[in-house]
Amino acid sequence: MDIQGNNLLIAEFMKLSKQDKTNDGSGVFLYESPVTGEYIEEYELNYDDSWDWLRPVAEKCANLIAPMIDGINDENENLIGDITVELIEGDIVSCYECLVKAIQFYNSKKQPMQTANNYNELPANFWEIIQEHLPNYHSRSDVALSNDLTMFIDDDDMSEQTRKYMESYVKELNEDPTEHLQKIDLALYNESVKYANKL
């Protein structure tokens, strides 16, 4: 895999916030820089030559991968030790290569997430999964609708304008508002799982 491909592999592992570049579902994304907070192109991902980008990757690898390699006896048993050595020696190229290898190992071992057939099958942390994996989470109208409908059903505080809109929206529904909300959340979760399993 080339440097851009490896940087993209790391970006996905780090769960960088991303935006659909073309808004056409083509799968081409802009990624939020962990250094500047600006959205950048794939080719601008800078893991291969910036310690500011690379150090957090090493920390996450240590936390996620160390338990996975505990007790194994193969070429992967020293993954974390190799990363630590390269960090201490300050060799960014070798550290980067070790991290790519560690992430590839992690991806090969993690279990794919399963979609749900109905609302009752959703895991307790389903909203965390949606937030982490759904592209454009913060700008999605269905996410906003779910939030507003939840607040309306729970009779939480909301602006008068939002409350009037939700009253009108619920009046037009041909089903129970709670069942409608559950269908929205189920669809959001299943879409998130599909994106998560592409990583």
Whether 109 contacts 68, CB under 8 Å:
yes
- Distance of alpha carbon 194 from alpha carbon 199, whole angstroms: 9
Sign of the alpha-carbon torsion through 12, 14, 17, 21 = negative
Per-residue pLDDT at 25:
62
- Distance of alpha carbon 51 from alpha carbon 54, whole angstroms: 5
Q: Report helix, strand or coil for 2.
A: coil
Would you list the DSSP string of 134-184? STTGGG-HHHHHHHHHHHHHTT----HHHHHHHHHHHHH-SS-HHHHHHHH
Q: How many CA atoms lie within 13 A of 17 on its CB side?
A: 13
**Average of pLDDT values for 91-116?**
86
CA 159 to chain centre: 30
- Cα–Cα nearest to 9, from 85, 108, 77: 108
Check pLDDT > 70 for residue 55. yes
Whether 9 contacts 2, CB under 8 Å:
no
Per-residue pLDDT at 169:
94
Query: What is the pLDDT confidence band of residue 77, given thresholds at 50, 70 and 90?
Result: low
Per-residue pLDDT at 56:
93
- Domain map (residue ranges) of the chain: 3-109, 119-198
Is 104 or 22 the better-scoring residue by pLDDT? 104
CA 109 vs CA 10, 18, 129, 132: distances in Å:
16, 24, 19, 20
Tell me the per-residue pLDDT of 10-48, one tens digit each, with 9 for 90 and over: 998 898 888 877 766 666 788 999 999 999 999 999 999
* 6 Cβ contact list (under 8 Å, min separation 6): 47, 48, 96, 100
Average pLDDT over the chain reads 86
Give the pTM.
0.55
